Amino acid sequence: MTASFTRKIGSNRGKPRLWIEGAHLTAAGLLHGTRWTLTKTDSGLTIAADPEGKRRIAGKPGRPIIDINSAAMLGPLADAETVVVAYEPGSGRLDVRRG
C-alpha cells in the first residue's frame, strides 16, 4: 500500500527549500540518524536509506527531519510550488514529484 502527502516548496535565504519531518519519515522507515542519498529522476527526486550515504537524517529520535535547501539539490523541483511525496511503509525510500 502506497501512502502519500503534499509539501510546499518554501524558501530560506532566497533558496528553495523542501522540509520533511515527523511521522511520515518514521512510517517510511527513515529514522533519526539514518544515512541517505538523494537521486534526481525524470519526474523528481528519490530519497533512499543508504549506509554509504553522505547525508544523515537530522532532528531527534521522535522527530526525524530531512531538509533539502538548494536549487541544485532540488533539481527539476526547485521552481515547483508543491510536491507530492509517496512511500511504501517501511521501505526506507521517498519518491518526490511535482504536486
- 99/81 Cα distance (integer angstroms): 8
Sign of the C-alpha dihedral computed for residues 58, 59, 60 and 61 taken in this order = negative
pLDDT of residue 1: 73
Residue range(s) defining the domain that contains residue 88: 3-98
**Model confidence, pTM:** 0.91
Q: What is the number of structural domains in the chain? A: 1
pLDDT tens digits along 14-69 = 899 999 999 999 999 999 999 999 999 888 999 999 999 999 999 999 999 999 99
pLDDT of residue 76: 87
CB count within 10 Å of CB 95 equals: 19
**Adjacency order of strands within the sheet including 93-98:** 3-8, 82-87, 93-98, 44-49, 35-40, 55-56
All three cell numbers of 97: 514529484
- 15/10 Cα distance (integer angstroms): 8
99 versus 21: which is more confidently predicted?
21
- The 3-state DSSP class for residue 24 equals helix
pLDDT of residue 42: 86
All three cell numbers of 80: 515547483
